[in-house]
């Protein structure tokens, strides 16, 4: 038994521990789902195959489990991504797997780099296992310096070809390196490729003529500071030709290669020379001699890097990697589908509010896609290995849920219908949840609606052009927007916990709606964003720890009885021609600005506690004729800020109701007549002063939500009693006064 075998860790305790720690699947359809696998630290998936039994095998490396700092891991799942078994392999140092094949005997071969074993500062390491991941043999290849493996194929003779780059051998700083072995991993021959500068091979295929093609990046050849590099060899590794592709900047450190159905080649990676900006996905198509036929870029304003490429059964291409330009978070997995000429057909992003990466892509036997990589948004630890399965359009069916206009539910079996009530029976993960029916109640029943599947982000409840819909008792998490109310009225949002989204609730052209009794917290952007609507009531919500509490462009709305606290910027922002809103009985505390008004007039702000903010209220650009009274301004660093102070943009407001003003914790005046009001005004600036400042804090009335209901019930009871009394008593009284008929 070799030293590697002795240090190889694969035991029942580890297996049980991993099964306990690995995540529970979220799905409703066998055509789409996502799974993450990992412990309390970092786990990375780098390579993926669909296995002969219809399941999946994933290779990568793990920090929490195994013998060393990082160890190779091999995970086997069923067709739905449920863990069947896993194994780790490694020593006391760093060992990282990068490539995987299922071998012709049903076992697996795993390639990577090891610092635990070998002759140098990192060696190629090839491990062969049986069908259950038990190690059968392992081999090392390398010299006294670093040798970094990148890509593996099982060759037509049953042996293996492995490629990467070497600092131990070759002509330059580092050269591309191709090693050919027999079926037992014994080296048959090896070749280096490169000259005096840096040359890297990152992808390898055995070609239809029995030779090899290698793709990577070269600094020795080409036009720029690192170009795509394609090398073609014969069956003994002797170079037949090589070609470079690139501009004046850098291309292709993660180049991925396929031989195409027409005998040519396609290479995917990233380019900084071409495209929109920064780095873009780059797809290069060549003929069989490596001559460029066409190329396409895909990307946006920020960095977009392709890691994996497949030619699809329809003759098109699919590329996967990471995008900073699109998606929900700080780097999402990105799948791009093209036609046979590289024209984009569609794209999909997958991720949450943090970062995700697709490192390996395959076309599955059902015509869909599977992607393996890493997730930070949905991990049990710091980073988890991540497996995503989609349909042929890159979508995950469960993540598109509809309550249709005819009352049926599409996209999940976790909603039970009883008349006009739709009740959750389990947690649901979505990319969008469309409510297309009027006059219904959606009761989350304490379960969670979240964007924690492959997409993350996305939209929660979409109430567009709806009437009389109630959303209640739902935990709404990890979505781009938790609830959208667009062009709708008589919507009630109550009793929900809306947290950890990019934006909590978005209202646009919304009228006569009620948002009451919700917990709206820890959203990365706005708790509530309100654009163009009126006669809405936002009451008795806890709106805390968001980037901003409420942003409102609208008139004739009521914001009452809320706790608006500890939001990073502003508690309540009233913007641009918002008029006749009532802001009352709120606790607005511990923000940069408690209330911020810009170009807003004729609003009433009364009976609020505005405390412990950097600024109590900010008035900006002609925010005039607002009435502010019976509020407590306590311990704000600055109670009121009004700017700019030029004549064109004056903000002049009313600071009392004719008899009472506000309580100011920094008011130093006297109350000689003991009427509870200061003898001198509280001066804000030359155009604004409180003429009746209170010397004691105003007592904000507290009316729990059940008191108005009780009062209405009592009124109803009295009305019914009075009606019944009149119904029975009046006829009797009328009979007493009927004059008898006289006869003559």
Residue 592: predicted pLDDT = 96
The average pLDDT across 227-231 equals: 92
Between 6-15, 47-56, 692-701, the lowest mean confidence (pLDDT) is in 6-15
Q: Which of 250 and 369 is assigned the larger pLDDT?
A: 369
Secondary structure (H, E, C), 122-139: CEEEEEEECCCCCEEEEE
Residue 735 lies in a domain: no
* Nearest-angstrom CA–CA distance, 679 and 669: 7
Residue 257 lies in a domain: no
Q: Which of 493 and 33 is assigned the larger pLDDT?
A: 493
Over 80: is that where the pLDDT of 730 sits?
no
Residue 456: predicted pLDDT = 46
The average pLDDT across 709-722 equals: 52
| Segment of 352-356, 362-366, 732-736 carrying the highest mean pLDDT | 362-366
**Chain segment 529-554, per-residue pLDDT in tens:** 999 999 999 999 999 999 999 999 99
Over 90: is that where the pLDDT of 110 sits?
yes
Whichever domain contains 490, its CATH number is: 2.160.20
**Chain segment 588-603, per-residue pLDDT in tens:** 999 999 999 999 999 9
**Chain segment 388-402, per-residue pLDDT in tens:** 999 899 987 666 899
Between 619-623, 647-651, 703-707, the lowest mean confidence (pLDDT) is in 703-707
* Nearest-angstrom CA–CA distance, 446 and 473: 5
Residue 702: predicted pLDDT = 62
Per DSSP, helices labelled H in 471-593 are none
Q: Which residue from 109, 119, 113, 126 is spatially nearest to 165, judged by alpha carbons?
A: 113
Residue 351: predicted pLDDT = 79
What is the band of 444 on the pLDDT scale with cuts at 50, 70, 90? very high
Residue 711: both structure tokens together: 């009062």
Is residue 171 within 8 Å of residue 157, measured between CB atoms?
Answer: no
Per-residue CA distances from 530 to 504, 508, 515, 541, 570 (Å): 11, 6, 12, 15, 14
Q: Can you name the residues that pair with 410 across neighbouring β-strands?
A: 402
Residue 203: predicted pLDDT = 95
Strand, helix or coil for residue 225: coil
Q: Domain end: 153, 175, 197, which one? A: 153
Over 60: is that where the pLDDT of 454 sits?
no
Tally of domains in the chain: 2
Residue 67: predicted pLDDT = 75
Residue 397: predicted pLDDT = 63
Over 90: is that where the pLDDT of 17 sits?
no
The average pLDDT across 552-576 equals: 96
Residue 602 lies in a domain: no
What is the band of 39 on the pLDDT scale with cuts at 50, 70, 90? confident
Residue 501: both structure tokens together: 């989204």
Residue 28: predicted pLDDT = 33
What is the band of 22 on the pLDDT scale with cuts at 50, 70, 90? very low
Average pLDDT, the chain: 87
Residue 737: predicted pLDDT = 38
Q: Which residue has the tokens 């076992």?
A: 107
Residue 377 lies in a domain: no
Q: Which of 84 and 31 is assigned the larger pLDDT?
A: 84
Q: What percent of the chain has pLDDT over 90?
A: 69
**Chain segment 505-518, per-residue pLDDT in tens:** 999 999 999 999 99
Q: Can you name the residues that pair with 360 across neighbouring β-strands?
A: 372
- Residue ranges making up the domain that contains 73: 1-153
Predicted structure pTM score = 0.61
Q: Domain end: 137, 153, 169, which one? A: 153
Q: What percent of the chain has pLDDT over 70?
A: 87
Q: Which residue from 341, 309, 340, 303 is spatially nearest to 322, judged by alpha carbons?
A: 303
β-strand pairing of 26-29 with 32-37: antiparallel
Residues in contact with 711: Cβ distance below 8 Å, sequence separation at least 6, in sequence order:
none
* Nearest-angstrom CA–CA distance, 358 and 304: 12
β-strand pairing of 593-598 with 475-477: unpaired
Residue 167 lies in a domain: no
Residue 175 lies in a domain: no
Residue 375 lies in a domain: no
Q: Which of 723 and 550 is assigned the larger pLDDT?
A: 550
Between 287-296, 486-495, 662-671, 696-705, the lowest mean confidence (pLDDT) is in 696-705
Residue 613: predicted pLDDT = 97
Over 60: is that where the pLDDT of 24 sits?
no
The average pLDDT across 184-213 equals: 95
Q: Domain end: 516, 546, 576, which one? A: 546
Residues in contact with 39: Cβ distance below 8 Å, sequence separation at least 6, in sequence order:
17, 18, 21, 62, 64, 65, 380, 381
Residues in contact with 405: Cβ distance below 8 Å, sequence separation at least 6, in sequence order:
436, 437
What is the band of 16 on the pLDDT scale with cuts at 50, 70, 90? very low
Residue 682 lies in a domain: no
* Nearest-angstrom CA–CA distance, 628 and 694: 13
Report the Cα 474 to chain-centroid distance in Å: 19
The average pLDDT across 685-693 equals: 94
């Amino acid at each position: 038994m070799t030293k590697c075998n002795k240090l190889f860790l694969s035991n029942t305790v580890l297996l049980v521990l991993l099964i306990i720690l690995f995540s529970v699947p979220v799905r409703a359809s066998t055509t789409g789902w996502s799974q993450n696998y990992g412990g309390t630290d970092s786990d990375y998936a780098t390579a993926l195959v669909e296995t002969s039994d219809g399941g999946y095998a994933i290779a990568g490396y793990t920090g929490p489990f195994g013998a060393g700092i990082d160890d190779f891991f091999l995970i086997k799942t069923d067709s739905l991504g449920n863990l069947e078994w896993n194994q780790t392999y490694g020593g006391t140092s760093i060992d990282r797997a990068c490539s995987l094949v299922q071998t012709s005997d049903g076992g697996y071969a795993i390639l990577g780099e090891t610092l635990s074993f070998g002759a140098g500062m990192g060696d190629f390491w090839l491990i062969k296992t049986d069908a259950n991941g038990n190690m059968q043999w392992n081999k090392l290849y390398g010299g006294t310096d670093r040798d970094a493996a990148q890509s593996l194929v099982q060759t037509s003779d049953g042996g293996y070809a492995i490629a990467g780059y070497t600092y131990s051998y070759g002509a330059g700083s580092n050269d591309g390196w191709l090693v050919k072995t027999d079926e037992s991993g014994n080296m048959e021959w090896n070749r280096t490729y490169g000259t005096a500068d840096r040359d890297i091979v990152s992808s390898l295929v055995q070609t239809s003529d029995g030779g090899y093609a290698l793709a990577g990046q070269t600094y020795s050849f080409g036009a720029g500071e690192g170009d795509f590099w394609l090398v073609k060899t014969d069956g003994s590794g002797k170079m037949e030709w090589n070609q470079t592709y690139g501009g004046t900047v850098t291309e292709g450190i993660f180049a991925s290669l396929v031989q195409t159905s027409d005998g040519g080649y396609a290479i995917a990676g990233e380019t900084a020379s071409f495209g929109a900006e920064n780095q873009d996905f780059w797809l290069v198509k060549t003929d069989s001699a490596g001559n460029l036929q066409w190329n396409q870029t895909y990307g946006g304003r920020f960095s977009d890097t392709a890691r994996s490429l497949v030619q699809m059964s329809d003759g098109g291409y699919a590329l996967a990697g990471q995008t900073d330009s699109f998606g929900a978070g700080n780097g999402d997995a990105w799948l791009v589908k093209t036609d046979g000429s590289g024209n984009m057909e569609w794209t999909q992003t997958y991720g949450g509010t943090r970062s995700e990466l697709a490192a390996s892509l395959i076309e599955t036997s059902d015509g869909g896609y599977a992607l393996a990589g890493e997730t930070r948004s949905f991990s049990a630890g710091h980073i988890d290995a991540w497996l995503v399965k989609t349909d042929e359009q890159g979508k995950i069916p469960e993540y598109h849920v509809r309550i249709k206009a005819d009352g049926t539910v599409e996209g999940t079996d976790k909603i039970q219908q009883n008349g006009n009530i739709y009740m959750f029976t389990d947690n649901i993960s979505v990319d969008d949840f469309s409510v297309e029916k009027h006059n219904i109640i959606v009761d989350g029943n304490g379960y969670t609606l979240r964007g924690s599947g492959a997409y993350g982000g996305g939209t929660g409840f979409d109430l567009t052009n709806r009437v009389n819909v109630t959303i209640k008792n739902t935990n709404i998490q990890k979505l781009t927007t938790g609830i959208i109310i667009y062009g709708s009225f008589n919507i009630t949002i109550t009793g929900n916990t809306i947290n950890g989204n990019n934006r909590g609730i978005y209202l646009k052209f919304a009228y006569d709606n009620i948002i009451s009794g919700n917990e709206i917290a820890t959203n990365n952007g706005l708790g509530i964003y309100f654009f163009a609507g009126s006669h809405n009531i936002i009451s008795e919500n806890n709106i805390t720890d968001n980037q901003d509490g409420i942003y409102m462009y609208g008139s004739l709305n009521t914001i009452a009885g809320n706790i608006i606290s500890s939001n990073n910027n502003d508690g309540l922002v009233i913007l641009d021609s918002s008029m006749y809103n009532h802001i009352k009985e709120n606790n607005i505390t511990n923000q940069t600005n408690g209330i911020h008004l810009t170009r807003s007039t004729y609003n009433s702000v009364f009976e609020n506690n505005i405390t412990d903010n950097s600024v109590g209220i900010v008035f900006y650009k002609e925010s005039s004729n607002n009435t502010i009274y019976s509020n407590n301004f306590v311990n704000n660093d600055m109670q009121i800020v009004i700017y700019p102070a030029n004549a064109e943009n004056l903000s002049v407001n009313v600071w009392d109701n004719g008899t009472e003003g506000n309580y100011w914790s920094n008011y130093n005046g006297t109350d000689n007549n003991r009427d509870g009001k200061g003898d001198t005004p509280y001066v804000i600036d030359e155009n604004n002063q409180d003429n009746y400042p209170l010397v004691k804090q105003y007592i904000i009335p507290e009316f729990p939500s059940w008191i108005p209901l009780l009062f209405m019930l009592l009124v109803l009871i009295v009305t019914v009693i009075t009606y019944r009394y009149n119904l029975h008593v009046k006829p009797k009284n009328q009979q007493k006064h009927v004059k008898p008929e006289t006869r003559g």
